[in-house]
């Protein structure tokens, strides 16, 4: 047996010195904060975080101190060092993005795409859904009515990207509901200072009926050509959530998302969700901002929802997402991951893990480059990788996309100018 001193590891090529993390850098590029993990082997790992630099960037040195000197290919070891200090966003968001950059390094070091390290792919094309992707050629630049929103969705199905599932905002997520000039006049007691939050009390019957009418009018235009999902809250009382879910049953929507808890709520309300789910045929979905698998256990074991939707950039990364998908599958619960703000690197990472998920996988929310020049500063994306509502899995090492440093550098601010150096 070959003896390996500390800091060395055995491989098919013999013993070699273990790689070490030497730095974790961050930079704001476009609408995202980007992570770069630097190693002593010259292999970098990249990922992106939803941009809130005032809260997110100051946390990165804290987590960096926990993994500098560690072997980045031992992803689980690095995560164990950080998880104990994580929590609901923004802390969990930083940890999650670091995790994806670690997998990027592990794949590059092994010379294989990350899906090979997550168990291998079971599908060559990964279905996606539209959540915030916008086509510049859409017929209505500022849609005001359910019919105009629906016509934009049909357009998304007709362009080459060909989305087959679309999610749109409903109720508190659609601030226009509060405007007296909106197609649906005001209907609710005094508006909260933030339209994403419920001011309290039960909704009026007018409010519920207008939301049901919103869904009905969209469905009349879209028909069966595109599956419709609705991001609905959070903020509904369980009573109102049930009234809404039952009211839209005739329209066979894909799901109602985050009715009771969800965005901005660091708890699941699994008991309330279970009561809702068991009393309606409308699929119920939640989970986009939950951190770690442990916080999905109650939702899954109680079968509190029909669909879970973790965001890999919130939940702890792509391995965490895969674990939750497998556990949900054992309980007959579907998986539709969130991904709105995860950017090009997040899209690549979601494709890698989506290729490996079990049969309960529906689609992931497609993150896109914003601004559009993002596609000019990265390399590795195949031509026409998104077609007919699916991303074709490609086989580049790591997560399959990296920066063109010369092109990307011109978008760095003065404070981030050393992002690609060292």
Of 9-18, 181-190, 193-202, 218-227, the range with the lowest mean pLDDT is 181-190
Average pLDDT, the chain: 90
pLDDT at 123 over 60: yes
Convert the pLDDT of each residue in 220-246 to its tens digit.
Answer: 999 999 999 999 988 889 999 999 999
119 neighbors 354 (Cβ within 8 angstroms): no
Question: Residues 392-411: pLDDT tens digits?
Answer: 999 999 999 999 999 999 99
Burial 140-179 (b: 16+ CB within 10 A, else e): eeebebbbbbbbbbbebbeeebebbbbbbbbbbbbeebbe
Residue 300 scores a pLDDT above 70: yes
Q: Is the pLDDT of residue 183 over 70?
A: no
Task: Name the residue with higher pLDDT: 325 or 142.
Answer: 325
Count of CB atoms situated within 10 Å of the CB of 359: 9
Per residue in 319-343, pLDDT (tens digit) is: 999 999 999 999 999 999 999 888 9
Q: Is the pLDDT of residue 267 over 50?
A: yes
90 vs 180: which has the higher pLDDT = 90
What is the reported pLDDT for 15?
A: 60
Cα 155 to Cα 308: distance, rounded to the nearest angstrom: 28
- Tens of pLDDT, residues 51-95: 776 788 999 999 999 999 999 999 999 999 999 899 998 899 999
Which domains, ranges and CATH numbers included, belong to the chain?
Answer: 8-112+405-416 (3.30.390.10), 116-399 (3.20.20.120)
pLDDT confidence band for 181 (50 / 70 / 90): very low
Name the band, by pLDDT with cuts 50, 70 and 90, for residue 105: very high
**Rounded (10°) CA dihedral 286, 255, 143, 189:** -60
Identify the pLDDT of residue 117.
98
| pLDDT beyond 50 at 179 | no
Share of the chain above pLDDT 70, in %: 89
Asked if residue 186 has pLDDT above 60, the reply is no
Task: Give the pLDDT confidence of 148-177 residue by residue, as tens digits.
Answer: 999 999 999 999 999 999 999 987 777 655
Beta strand 125-129 pairing with 21-29: unpaired
Which residue is listed with tokens 């109602």? 256
For the ranges 2-6, 30-34, 304-308, which has the lowest average pLDDT?
2-6
Angstrom CA distances, 233 to 174, 261, 263, 298, 367, stand at: 9, 8, 8, 21, 20
44 vs 204: which has the higher pLDDT: 44
pLDDT over threshold 60, residue 13? no
Q: Which residues of 227-240 are buried (b: 16+ CB within 10 A; e: fewer)?
A: bbbbbbbbbbbbeb
User: Which is more confidently placed, 358 or 135?
Assistant: 358
Spatial distance between the Cα atoms of 361 and 333, rounded to a whole number of angstroms: 9
Q: For residue 125, what are the β-bridge partners? A: 392
Cβ neighbours of 274 (radius 10 Å): 17
Contact 230, 214 (CB under 8 A): no
- The answer to whether 86 touches 292, Cβ cutoff 8 Å, is yes
**Pair of tokens at residue 191:** 């508006």
| Average pLDDT of span 178-207 | 51
pLDDT of residue 178: 43
> What is the value of pTM for the model shown?
0.92
Q: What is the pLDDT at residue 191?
A: 46
| The two structure tokens encoding residue 367 | 């993150």
What does the pLDDT read at residue 208?
A: 86
Q: What is the pLDDT of residue 200?
A: 59
Position 224 scores a pLDDT of 97
Reported confidence tier of residue 301, pLDDT bands at 50, 70, 90: very high
């Amino acid at each position: 047996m070959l003896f390996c001193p500390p800091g060395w590891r055995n491989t098919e090529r013999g013993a070699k010195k273990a790689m070490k993390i030497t730095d974790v850098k961050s930079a704001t590029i476009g609408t995202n904060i980007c992570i770069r993990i630097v190693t002593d082997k010259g292999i970098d790992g990249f990922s992106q975080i939803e941009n809130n630099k005032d809260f997110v960037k100051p946390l990165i040195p804290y987590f960096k101190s926990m993994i500098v000197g560690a072997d980045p290919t031992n992803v689980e070891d690095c995560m164990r060092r950080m998880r104990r200090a994580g929590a609901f966003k923004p802390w969990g968001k930083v940890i999650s993005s670091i995790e994806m950059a670690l997998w990027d390094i592990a794949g590059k070091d092994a010379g294989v795409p990350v899906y090979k390290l997550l168990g291998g792919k079971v599908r060559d094309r990964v279905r996606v859904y539209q959540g915030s992707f916008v086509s510049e050629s859409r017929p209505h630049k500022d849609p005001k009515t359910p019919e105009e929103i629906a016509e934009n969705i049909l357009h998304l199905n007709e362009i080459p990207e060909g989305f087959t599932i679309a999610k749109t905002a409903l109720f508190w997520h659609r601030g226009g509901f509060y405007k007296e000039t909106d197609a649906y006049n005001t209907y609710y007691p005094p508006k909260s200072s933030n339209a994403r939050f419920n001011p309290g009390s039960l909704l009026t019957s007018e409010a519920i009926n207008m939301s049901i009418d919103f869904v009905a009018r969209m469905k009349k235009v879209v028909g069966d050509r595109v599956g419709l999902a609705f991001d609905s809250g959070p903020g509904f009382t369980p009573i109102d959530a049930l009234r809404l879910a039952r009211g839209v049953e005739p329209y066979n929507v894909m799901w109602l998302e985050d009715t009771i808890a969800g965005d901005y709520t660091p708890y699941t309300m699994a008991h309330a969700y279970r009561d809702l789910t068991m009393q309606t045929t409308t699929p119920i979905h939640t989970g986009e901002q939950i951190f770690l698998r442990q916080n999905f256990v109650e939702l899954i074991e109680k079968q509190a929802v029909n669909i879970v939707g973790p965001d890999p950039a919130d939940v702890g990364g792509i391995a965490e997402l895969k674990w939750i998908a497998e556990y949900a599958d054992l309980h007959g619960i579907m998986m539709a991951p969130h991904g709105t703000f995860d950017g090009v690197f997040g899209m690549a990472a979601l494709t890698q893990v989506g290729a490996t998920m079990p049969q309960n996988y529906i689609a992931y929310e497609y993150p896109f480059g914003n601004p559009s020049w993002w596609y000019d500063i990265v390399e590795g994306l195949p031509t026409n990788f998104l077609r007919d509502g699916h991303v074709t899995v490609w086989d580049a090492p790591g997560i399959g996309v990296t920066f063109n440093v010369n092109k990307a550098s011109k978008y760095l601010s003065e404070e981030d100018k050393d992002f690609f150096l060292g």
